Amino acid sequence: MINVFNSNQLSSQSTSELKAEILERVKGRDTDSLNTKVQYYKNILTPYIEELTQRNPYPVVAEQIPVVLGVWTPVWSTIPFHDTLPGRNREQSYQIFHDDSYYANIARYTPGQNTFWQKLSAKLPAIDLMVLQKYAVRDNKWYIQNVGIEQAFRNREVPLTIEDAENWFSTVIGRKFQAVQGEELPQTLELKLDRKTVKKLEKTYLATPQLEHLYVDRDLRIVKTQREASQRPSYTIAIRRQ
C-alpha cells in the first residue's frame, strides 16, 4: 500500500487508484468503535480524502443531484446514529436518493448477534429503520430537512433487499408526504421502541443536518455531515449499489 504520509506520492496516483486504495483501507473496519474510527480518519484517511477532494469532478452542488440519484451503501462511517440500535446489517443498509427531492437512510437491525443471545434472538423480528429527508440546493450548498422516521418489524430470515427498501420508501412518501405539502411536521415520534432510543431518534429528527460531498462521482461518495453546527463532523464513504 501507499505510504499515506507521502502527499507527493498520493498526488501522483490516478483517481481510480486512490479510490481503490481508500476502499481497501476501510474494508472490514466499519465495526470498529466510534473513537477508533475517528482516530483512523485523522491518522490514515485524511490525506486520501484531501487529495480526492481536490479532484472532485462535481464541485457545483446543483450538478451533484443527478449524479447521486439511486441506491448507495455506506461502507464506512463515523456517524453515531448508524448504531443507535444494536445489530446493524451493513450489507442491508441503503441510502436512496429519488428525483422528487426525497432521500432515505434505511437499515436492517437484527439485535442479538453475539453467540450468547443467538438462540434466544432467532425468533425475534428484525427492525427495519428508515430516516426520511428532503433535499434541496441553496447557495451552492445541500439543504437537508428531516421529515420522518419509520420503523417496521419483519422476519429476520428474509433479507431486506434493495427492491424491498425502494418499495417501502416510495410507499411511505406516497402515503404520508405527497398529500401534506407545507404542513408542519410533528415534534415527536410514534415508534415502538424503548423510550431512551426514541429520545435519541427524536434528537436526530428535529435537527437540521449539514451535508457536503467532499468527493462524488457515479460510483463513490465521500460525505461530510454535521447534525448541527456545534457537533463534530462525521464522515461517510459510500458505494453505489444501483
What local confidence, expressed as pLDDT, does residue 82 receive? 82
Please give the mean pLDDT across all residues of the chain: 87
- The CATH number of the domain covering residues in 65-240: 2.40.128
Per residue in 116-139, is it b (16+ CB within 10 Å) or e — as a string? eeeeebeeeebbbbbbbbbbeeee
pLDDT score of 10 more than 80: yes
**Averaged pLDDT, 145-167:** 93
- Return the domain boundaries, the chain: 1-55, 65-240
**Averaged pLDDT, 79-106:** 92
C-alpha 189/C-alpha 201 separation (Å) is 8
pTM here is 0.85
Residue, of 3 and 73, whose pLDDT is higher: 73
C-alpha to C-alpha distances, 8 to 11, 40, 43, 45, 201, nearest whole angstrom: 5, 21, 17, 15, 43
What local confidence, expressed as pLDDT, does residue 95 receive? 98
* Chain centre distance of CA 69: 14
Query: How are the residues of the chain apportioned to helix, strand and coil, as percentages rounded to the nearest 5?
Result: 35, 30, 35
Chain segment 189-210, per-residue pLDDT in tens: 556 566 666 666 656 656 678 9
15-24, 91-100, 145-154: segment of lowest average pLDDT = 145-154
Provide the 8-state DSSP code for 180: G
Residue, of 116 and 46, whose pLDDT is higher: 46
Residue recorded with cell 434466544: 120
